[in-house]
Structure 1
Amino acid sequence: MALYGALNEILAGMGLTGRLVARTEADSQPPAIAGLPVIGTHMRPNLERVLAVSPDLVLQTAGRGEAEEAAASLSRLGLPTAVFAMADFPGLYSAIARLGQLTGEPDAAAKLVAGLTARLDAVAAKTGAAERPTVFFEVRSGSLLAAGQGSMVDAVITAAGGKNAVATDKKIVRLADEELLRLAPQVCLTQRGPMNPEARPMAERPEYAALPCVRNGRNFLVDEAVFSRPGPGSVTAVEALAALLAATPVPEARP
């Protein structure tokens, strides 16, 4: 049983969806798990519901205190629990290999890693030595949050041929609008999803009219579940961003 959606995606990529016995409220992908019992949320699973489905193994991700405490609580109740840290592609591959060992399916894990690696290599072959545009990733609008360099988003930007405009090593960074204007990113991505449900392109917000990404028409909305959630979907995010970066930029508008 996985308490984090991307772990369901990994198991699906290994052909092991049929082993899942429950899901969280937010996770209904792949479609085969939609009818499974719901045991609460990623960070606050209902312990009684988890015990009721009798999982042989509970999977969780690291990085959030509440999520790790939930895993610890289940472990104290006697349920085998594994926690995974996936903040870059080596971490993702390590998690997949570990899942292969835990499920007794190392060959399926190796095949999944090989497929993901081949896709990233294909992107790298196309981007080559091209100049890397600066990319700003907006995690949440309003009280502005951005993706720093300690995140899978940063790994996605780098693998796609870009350079994170935010140099801070933290996973998520709070910025003032003035700082964003100073960074002057060439490309801006705004995620839409649970963390940013009212997402709007930066071009629709007057306060960002001077940004190069707005002047050049290179500000985009992207799916939070694909870009921010570490997992096999991160490779899909690399492919999508590489395509955006490869598109011919519109010349910067002059005042």
Structure 2
Amino acid sequence: MLGLALPLPGEARADSRCAIDDRGREVCLEQPAERIAALSPGATELLFAAGAGDRVVAVVAHSDYPPEAGEIPSVGNHARLDLEALLALDPDLVVGWITGNPVEQLERLERLGLPVFQLEPRDIAGVAGAIERLASLAGSERQGRRAALAFREGMAELAERHAEAEPVSVFYQVWDSPLMTVNDAHWIGEVVRLCGGVNAFGDLDRLAPRIAEEAVLAADPEVILAGGMGEANRDWLAHWSRYPELTAVAADNLFFVPPSLIQRPTPRLLEGAGLLCEALEVARGRR
């Protein structure tokens, strides 16, 4: 019933397949996955990109892309899974989120014999690699390779286009309470750099550090970029308008990027990166 490969020494099925997850563990299936549970919105997007969308039988809350994902049964949210509902759907592969899903619940699924492939892409290269590995487990390698190649080529084209761009100091707000940003090791920091931006908080140690509002005022970035509590909510940017002395405010360089396009490590990061690069070009034109 379960897809976990348990071959005898020296034995291997012709259609078995293995992939290394982002914990560094090898996950092997006896045959391509047919019933996949995606335990984060990002995992859902990556599976569809990998050509395995028609095999996804379970998702979690906020799995809103592609639209077809809305028709798939939800088994709770990423922070608290309904394991009874999940198990009733009889998945043969679970795609988990390393720092998003409860460790004890993922471990319980493994104890029950389910293969759990844990993902957490940390950079642009990791997105393409995740697509290819999921495609391998699902037996949709051709579509996965095409999607990964298109993503890599699109990012490379953006990087080439902005390679000689004049630097622009940037503050990216990833959350409002507590106030949070990203450092240069985060994929958003990588996108800022790709677009010719200089992350005002890029040298901080944590991937998504908490900062004080006073730190932003002291950094006085030329551009402020933010997502928000929704795909069209610009309230976070409106907050900074209270500080007309900020360079970004004085130049009207307050830009909104829909969070699902930039804060999920999925192929749509390419679209988000394009919007971010456009924002920095606008800022350069306002000097």
> What is the TM-score with the length of structure 2 in the denominator?
0.80
Pair 1:156–1:7, CA change in 2 (3 A): same
Q: Which residue of the partner structure matches residue 150 of structure 1? A: 185
Q: Which residue of 2 aligns with 1:26?
A: 62
Equivalent residue for 1:3? Answer: 39
5 Å matches for 1:236-247? 236-247=271-282
Q: Name the counterpart of 1:94.
A: 129
Distance 1:230 1:193 in 2: 18
Kept after mapping to 2: 8 A contact 1:22/1:33? no
Of all paired residues, the percent bearing the same amino acid is: 27
Q: Is the 8 A contact 1:216 1:249 kept in 2?
A: no
Tell me which amino acid in the other structure corresponds to 1:19.
R
Residue 209 of structure 2 aligns to which amino acid in structure 1?
Answer: V
Stretch moving more, 34-43 or 192-201: 192-201
1:161 CA displacement: 2.4
Evaluate the alpha carbon distance shift between residue 180 and residue 100 of structure 1 in structure 2; reply closer, same or farther with a 3 A threshold: same
Please give the root-mean-square deviation of Cα atoms over the aligned residues, in Å. Answer: 2.2
Question: Which of residues 209, 220, 227 is equivalent to 1:191?
Answer: 227
- How many angstroms does 1:119 deviate by? 0.9
Give runs of aligned pairs for residues 53-92 of structure 1, distance below 5 A. Answer: 53-64=89-100, 66-92=101-127
Task: Give the direction of change, closer, same or farther, for the CA distance of 1:227–1:168 in structure 2 (3 Å limit).
Answer: same
> Which of 141, 150, 157 is matched with 1:106 structurally?
141
1:153-179 deviations in whole A, cap 9, x for unaligned?
A: 112212222121112131211111221
| Partner Cα separation in structure 2 for residue 150 and residue 123 of structure 1 | 19
- Give 1 or 2: higher helix fraction: 1
Q: Give the Å deviation of 1:234.
A: 1.3
Q: d(CA) in 1 for partners of 2:144 and 2:273?
A: 21
Q: Is the contact between residue 140 and residue 195 of structure 1 (CA under 8 Å) also seen in structure 2?
A: no
Q: In structure 1, what is the Cα distance between the partners aligned to 2:108 and 2:185?
A: 27
Post-superposition offset of 1:33: 2.1
Greater Rg by CA: 2
1:128 has 2:174 as partner: no
What are the superposed Cα offsets for residues 93-123 of structure 1, whole Å, 9 maximum, x if unpaired? 2212211221122222221111001111221
Matched, 1:223 2:262: no
Name the SS of the counterpart of 1:60 in structure 2: strand
Amino acid at match of 2:228: R
Number of aligned residue pairs:
249
Does the 8 A contact of 1:138 with 1:145 survive in 2?
yes
Q: What are structure 2's unaligned runs of at least 5 residues?
A: 1-36
Partner of 2:207: 171
Letter in 1 for 2:163: G
Cross-structure match for 1:201: 237
Quickly say closer, same or farther: Cα 1:2–1:190, change in 2 above 3 A: same
Task: Name structure 1 gaps, 5 residues minimum.
Answer: none
Displacement of 1:204 after TM fit? 5.3
Q: Say yes or no: does 1:117 pair with 2:185.
A: no
User: TM-score when scaled to structure 1?
Assistant: 0.89
